[in-house]
Amino acid sequence: MNLPDGIANAEDRLGVSVRVHELLLAPLAELYGDSVCVEQAPAPEHGVVQYGFDHGEYRCAAAVQPLNDRAAIVWVTARLGRFHTEYGRALRWLACNREDNTVGLSVGHECLERRELWVACSRVTTPGDRAGVREMLLDVRSELSRLTVALGPWFPQSVEGARLHLLEKECAQSEDEAMLMLATFPRQFMSVLESDEAYAGRVEPAVHVMVNAWLARWSRVVEQVEKLAESAPDDEDSPERRTFLLSLKLVALGRLGRWLEVMQTAEELGALLADPREALLTHRAGALYGLGRYEEALALCRPAESDGNPRLWFWKSLAQARLGQVEEARESYCEYERIAGPDIIGREKLTELLPEE
């Protein structure tokens, strides 16, 4: 019996999506292993399944959407995180920076309402396009790795997508009305803490510090970390907790331009880390630069050039510009962007130091 064209085409379309789904699942499992999980499965028999997975700090999703009887659409999204301050600048940063990549900015009304940034990639795919699907996932993977390097230093107050995903799940399971505000309305949450001393005493002190960091209240972060360090009982002051708090303090001091304290805190944090060199080198280079010790900053960056740490190339370029080494500064900045991708905020800072042409 011959099926009517509409029904036949619908079955062909769903059959294509099943085969394309198989092309997606194999590289997902290869690249992300057991971290891949089913988030939604509206029609698994037709290959319509949404998978969730984490790439480092970012929460990602991937799925297949039926298109026609020859091809289906594979899409991947990554939730970069939530920006409680400087959101407009963050949006402009991403929109202007990633134009040379197949992975683009995804902005909708809901994203804007939540002050979030996402990136997205989609591909019209035929059942034989195994290599293309894998290459698409590698494109997203590469871009997210570059964004980790280039986005983080300018927006340390963001709540990364992977952490945000877990936090929202925890808050959703809570019956505490104030805790329900934590992930979405951190200012209101802090207002509750500041107005209700009894409730504030029941909240883990590290949460106070963390939320103030999300809101870019850097002076409060420093004050709270120092207060916690003085008052914490020995049995509660674990190396992991100290590392977390000192890492927040280090970022806060850098944002406040308190460079001598950055150097001191980096030494203190380094004593807790198994391999502190890579983790703290960029903080020390930035502090030396901030103190006007450009030759020292340059000397610190030079031995690490082979490490491929892009932030060291960034500080090196700025130090060279300050020392009048114009061509060397441009070359170092080009090396930074070769690794991290375009960075218009960094370009602006370097341009301010170079002579006008």
- Same fold: 5-133 with 174-353: no
Residue in the structure block whose two tokens are 């100290």? 242
CA–CA separation, 144 and 221 (whole Å): 28
Domain over 5-133 is classified CATH 3.40.190.290: no
pLDDT confidence of residue 8: 42
Write out the two tokens for 10: 């619908």
Write out the two tokens for 352: 């301010």
CA–CA separation, 27 and 201 (whole Å): 48
Look at the domain 174-353 and name its fold.
1.25.40
CA–CA separation, 198 and 137 (whole Å): 49
Rg (CA), the chain: 24
pLDDT confidence of residue 223: 94
Q: Where are the domains of the chain?
A: 5-133, 174-353
Q: In this structure, are residues 53 and 60 in contact, taking their beta carbons and an 8 Å threshold?
A: yes
Q: In this structure, are residues 126 and 71 in contact, taking their beta carbons and an 8 Å threshold?
A: yes
Q: What is the pTM of this model?
A: 0.83
What is the Cβ-side half-sphere exposure of residue 231, based on CA atoms within 13 angstroms?
Answer: 8
Judged on CB neighbours under 10 Å (0-12, 13-18, 19+), 253 is buried
pLDDT confidence of residue 152: 84
CA–CA separation, 9 and 11 (whole Å): 5
Q: What is the mean pLDDT of each run of 10 residues along the chain (357 residues)?
A: 42 81 93 92 89 93 91 92 74 67 68 81 90 92 86 86 88 84 86 89 87 92 90 71 90 96 93 74 94 95 72 94 96 91 89 85
First to last CA, the chain: 76
CB burial readout 175-214, b (16+ within 10 A) else e: eeebbbbbbbebeebbebbeeeeeebeebebeebbbbbbb
Residue in the structure block whose two tokens are 């420093």? 222
Write out the two tokens for 142: 């590469």
CA–CA separation, 342 and 97 (whole Å): 5
pLDDT confidence of residue 2: 36
